[in-house]
Structures are given as structure tokens and as C-alpha cells.
Amino acid sequence: MADINRDGTPELLTGSAAGLADAMPNAIYTLKGGKPVLLAEYEYRSGCRIAADGIIYEHDSGSAVNAVRSSLRLGKNADKLTTLVEMYSNIARTAEGIYYAKIIDGKQQYISEKEFESFGEIISNPPTRMKLTVHSVLDD
């Protein structure tokens, strides 16, 4: 559990003990009106890390060249995540091959592979990771 947005209501984070100890949950829930609300879940080719400042860094890979990298924030008293930065790579339908882009104010802007990879380094290793309270649930 961690109060990601510092609104006084801790979010429930599920996942393996090792993953949670590294601030890498499999799912993030919050409470809205006393009921749990799923904010995000991560599967086979996706994941996240939560930084100490509450920014959630996500990655999702459909293939080696089709990837999305994002940073998100949960606003105060919010029940959804807000995208701060979104970058992606894809294969062009022309001879250019792979291209990289980011979304700024709803508009696509092409970026360099270096900028895309640098953002990937931040996602893999944010400056500081959020400390999470890990509770273990074991079957009897």
C-alpha cells in the first residue's frame, strides 16, 4: 500500500513481494466513494515503476520495435491516471523503417532514437523509487 498522490487514501498495489519491494506492482487500485477502482494493470509485456514523487513510469511492448513508454500521475482525489509524457516506437509503412515519436498536447512529434532510449532508462531506473508497505498473502 502507498499513498501515491498524497491525498490521505493509500492505493492498493498487487504483485509479487519482490516486484513490490522494487516499486513494480502488477496492478494499482484506489478508492472512490468507498469502492475499489482499478487504475492500471500490467501483464506479460508491460510494467511500471513508481518513483518517490508519485510519478508512475510505464512501459508496454507489442514487439521489439513497437513500444510505448509513458509517465503518469494520479491527481488528488482522482480515479484515473493522467498522462504526463507518452513516447512510442513503430515501423513506418515506407522505406524509412522504425520511427520514434512523442505526444505533446495531443499532437505527434517525431523524436530521435536517443531521446526515446533515454526516457526508457528513466523508466527502468527512476532517480528514487517509492517505498511500499508489502503485505504477504499466503494460502493455508
How many domains, the chain?
Answer: 1
- From residue 23, how far is each of 51, 97, 108, 113, 115 by CA, in Å? 8, 35, 30, 27, 24
Residue 137 lies in a domain: no
Q: Which residue has the higher pLDDT, 36 or 98?
A: 36
Tell me the pLDDT band of 140, cut-offs 50, 70 and 90. Answer: very low
- Residue 75 resides in a domain: yes
Domain that holds residue 66: 12-124
In this structure, what DSSP letter does residue 11 have? B
Predicted confidence (pLDDT) per residue in 32-61, tens digit: 888 889 999 998 889 999 999 999 999 998
CA–CA dist 123, 113 (Å, integer): 15
Of the given ranges (56-65, 76-85, 90-99, 104-113), which has the lowest mean pLDDT?
A: 90-99
Q: Note the pLDDT of residue 40.
A: 95
Residue 138 covered by a domain: no
What string of DSSP letters covers 77-89? T-SSEEEEEEEEE
**Which pLDDT does position 137 carry in this prediction?**
62
Q: Determine if residue 6 is left, alpha or beta; phi over 0 gives left, psi from -120 to 50 gives alpha, anything else beta.
A: left
